[in-house]
Every structure is written in C-alpha cells, then in structure tokens.
Chain A
Amino acid sequence: EDQVTQSPEALRLQEGESSSLNCSYTVSGLRGLFWYRQDPGKGPEFLFTLYSAGEEKEKERLKATLTKKESFLHITAPKPEDSATYLCAVEGDYKLSFGAGTTVTVRA
C-alpha cells in the first residue's frame, strides 16, 4: 500500500526565514506526486505535480523538487500569507494517498 510521511508536523518561521518541508513516500511505481496547500476550513488548493526524479517546479516563493524517495517543498523568504497546511500526495490506483501535512506559521 502507498505510504506518505511528511515532516516536520509543524513549522514556525519568521517572515523572510527560508525553510524546507519534506515528503517521503513508498509507492509501487510513482505516477505523480502532488503538493497542495490547505487553509483552515477550506478545501486543498493545488500547487504542483511532479512526475519524475530530478523534476523541479516553482511558483512565487515555493519550489518543489523530487527524488526517487522523497520530495521537498522549499519556501523562500516566506510571508505571513504563506501560513497554511501543506499536503503531499502520491497517485495510486484511481486515488491519491495523502500525508498528514505540515502546518506552517509565518510570523511578521
């Protein structure tokens, strides 16, 4: 069965303090790794899809990278509006398997 582990569970950052979130996975044949952002009380918002090791994608202050065993979400010079829970998921048979998420709090 597909497994996804995210670390750390929570991350508190000062505005401008860059950091990285980790997503390690076990899947029989990766078809896609997804990053979502979720604000309290809302549905997850799609950020990135990565398909193969070595792939990188960027969006504003976020950059996602992928290796054969894990993915990283780098947050560069974060702002308070980047505060959210970041979810990682891997594609299996007609479903996504999600990690528990990393809750990021950015203080001004």
Chain B
Amino acid sequence: KAGVTQTPRYLIKTRGQQVTLSCSPISGHRSVSWYQQTPGQGLQFLFEYFSETQRNKGNFPGRFSGRQFSNSRSEMNVSTLELGDSALYLCASSLTGPPTDTQYFGPGTRLTVL
C-alpha cells in the first residue's frame, strides 16, 4: 500500500509570493492533517480535514489556508510569504482522523523563503 505522498518535496520562494503544497493520503484514508515543523517551535498543528470539511484549525494567521477534495487529496496554501514561514510542512492521513486513529505522515515539503 502506497504511503502518504507530498509534492513538491522542495520549494524556494521569495517574500511576498504565495505557495500551494499538495498531499495525497493513503488509499482509503479520509482525514488529512497538516503540520509545520521548525527547529524552534517543533511540530505545530495547522488544520485537519475530513470529507472536505475543516474540523479544527491551529493558531496560525489567515495567510495559511487549506482545502480537501472529494478524493481526499488536500492542498494547503500560504499567501504573502514571510521569512518565518521557512519550514518543513508535513501532511498526515488516517482513516477517520483524531481522536484515537493513528496518523501516518508523508515525507514533507521543505519550503525555503528568501
């Protein structure tokens, strides 16, 4: 069974630009969560989607948004990029999502903002 895939794996952008990251969950999984990982803050929750509905959102500014499609694939968008947005963005999928369901992570997208 294929794992969670994320594209692209690496991105370099400049301040003020916007970026869209993509996540394809494990086949059959309907919940997709997004996390930001930085050396200083660790892994921080961005948002979670289940059947195209956002069920929870972390403490991030409105520049961070996401969506989920009917085939459970998900995208996240960051507008007006700032230097501090440089991070590893991780997507995780699970059958039904939290609580209690195990989340499986993809390899991440490394975003560098110059």
Which residues from chain A sit less than 8 Å from chain B, CB to CB?
31-32, 34, 36, 41-46, 49, 51, 87, 89, 91-101
Contact (Cβ within 8 A) B105 A91: no
3 closest residue pairs by CB, A with B: A43-B105, A94-B56, A31-B99
Measured as residues with beta carbon below 8 angstroms from the partner, the interface class of chain B is: 20 to 34
Give B97's nearest chain A residue, CB to CB. A94
Contact (Cβ within 8 A) A94 B42: no
Judged by a CB distance under 8 angstroms, whether B66 is at the interface is: no
Q: B97-114: which residues lie under 8 A (CB-CB) from chain A? A: 97-100, 102-108, 110
Q: Is the interface of B mostly helix, strand, loop or mixed?
A: strand
Which residues from chain B sit less than 8 Å from chain A, CB to CB?
4, 33, 35, 42-45, 48, 50, 55-56, 58, 90, 92, 97-100, 102-108, 110
